[in-house]
């Protein structure tokens, strides 16, 4: 499918680039759609594209030696993944799976590398992005240190709450929330345990499910306190 420069400029990391550059990148990029559960990036392979997420939600996952699934991070629309090879030409370290039907734009790494020569600004952006990834992985690792299981779930949920709702503590909606299983592998928990925590959260009217693609966060202040551990579930 055809990629327009306008589509590319929808991504904050590409937006600052001049129109001409975007036009060139657009020509070499391709829109790829994946169904739920589709494998967007494969671990161990030298992917030659950076994957920009336009719509839906992705999850980076790895597998332990004994085949157990491990959740690493979520990717939200506007963000991208698979950029590690930009820096070291190494293989993609983890799988990236579509949690919902997704629309992505694949931009060839080699073209992006070209652009970084002409526009160091992009290089800077990529560096900042990678740094952000390290910070995120670190935060997620700390989460796993929490001995209290419901706090762990609430923290993870908290990170999915939209930015402005986290600030103003107003009610909000999480779009395409991960399934219990997908949350479980992020937190080293069993699916059942996550289910039980959600059960309590729903009974206490802190969150409310609305179909499969919406999760209402009604009582944001309480969720915050639960995530911070100042209140027990």
Nearer to its own copies, 203 or 230 (CB): 230
Please, what is the end-to-end C-alpha distance for the chain in angstroms?
Answer: 49
CA 223 to chain centre: 21
Distant-in-sequence, close-in-space partners of 171: CB < 8 Å, separation ≥ 6: 165, 216, 217, 218, 219, 220
Nearer to DNA, 119 or 196 (CB): 196
CB atoms near residue 109 (< 10 Å): 18
Closest to 97 measured CA to CA, from 74, 77, 64: 74
Nearer to DNA, 27 or 205 (CB): 205
Give the pair of three-digit tokens for residue 163.
Answer: 């930015």
Query: In angstroms, what is the minimal distance from the CB of 117 to its own copies?
Result: 9
Query: In angstroms, what is the minimal distance from the CB of 52 to its own copies?
Result: 18
Question: Using the rule CB under 8 A, is 45 a contact of its own copies?
Answer: no
- Sign of the C-alpha dihedral computed for residues 170, 223, 210 and 102 taken in this order: positive
Closest to 19 measured CA to CA, from 5, 4, 2, 3: 5
The binding site for DNA (CB under 7 A) comprises 35, 147-149, 179-181, 188-193, 195-196, 198-199, 202, 209, 211-212
Question: Using the rule CB under 8 A, is 88 a contact of its own copies?
Answer: yes
Place of tokens 């990170």: 159
Question: Using the rule CB under 8 A, is 4 a contact of its own copies?
Answer: no
| Residue 137 near which of DNA, its own copies, none (CB within 5-8 Å, type-dependent) | its own copies
Question: Using the rule CB under 8 A, is 191 a contact of its own copies?
Answer: no
Q: Which of residues 2, 20, 35, 145 is near its own copies by CB under 8 A?
A: 145
Query: In angstroms, what is the minimal distance from the CB of 83 to its own copies?
Result: 9
Q: Which string of b and e fits 156-184 if b means at least 16 CB within 10 Å?
A: bbbebbeeebbeeeeebebebbbebebbb
Q: Which of residues 10, 30, 103, 146 is near its own copies by CB under 8 A?
A: 146
Footprint on this chain of its own copies (rule: CB under 8 A): 62-66, 68-70, 72, 84, 86-88, 90, 93-94, 123, 127-128, 130-135, 137-148, 151, 155, 185, 188, 228-229
């Amino acid at each position: 499918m055809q990629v327009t420069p306008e589509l590319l400029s929808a991504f904050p990391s590409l937006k600052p680039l001049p129109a001409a550059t975007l036009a060139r990148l657009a020509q070499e990029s391709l829109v790829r759609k994946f169904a739920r559960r589709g494998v967007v990036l494969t671990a161990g392979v030298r992917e030659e594209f950076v994957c920009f997420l336009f719509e839906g939600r992705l999850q980076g996952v790895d597998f332990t030696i004994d085949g157990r699934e491990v959740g690493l991070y979520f990717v939200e629309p506007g963000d991208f993944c698979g950029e590690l090879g930009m820096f070291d030409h190494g293989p993609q370290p983890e799988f990236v799976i579509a949690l919902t039907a997704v629309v992505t734009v694949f931009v060839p790494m080699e073209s992006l590398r070209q652009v970084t020569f002409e526009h160091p600004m992009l290089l800077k952006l990529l560096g900042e992005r990678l740094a952000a990834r390290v910070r995120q992985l670190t935060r997620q690792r700390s989460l796993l240190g929490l001995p209290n299981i419901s706090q762990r779930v609430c923290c993870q949920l908290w990170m999915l709450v939209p930015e402005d709702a986290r600030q103003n503590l107003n009610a909000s909606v999480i779009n395409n929330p991960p399934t219990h299983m997908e949350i479980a592998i992020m937190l080293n928990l069993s699916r059942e345990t996550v289910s039980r925590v959600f059960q309590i959260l729903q009974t206490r009217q802190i969150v409310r499910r609305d179909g499969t693609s919406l999760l209402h966060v009604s009582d944001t202040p309480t969720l915050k306190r639960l995530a911070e551990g100042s209140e027990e579930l």
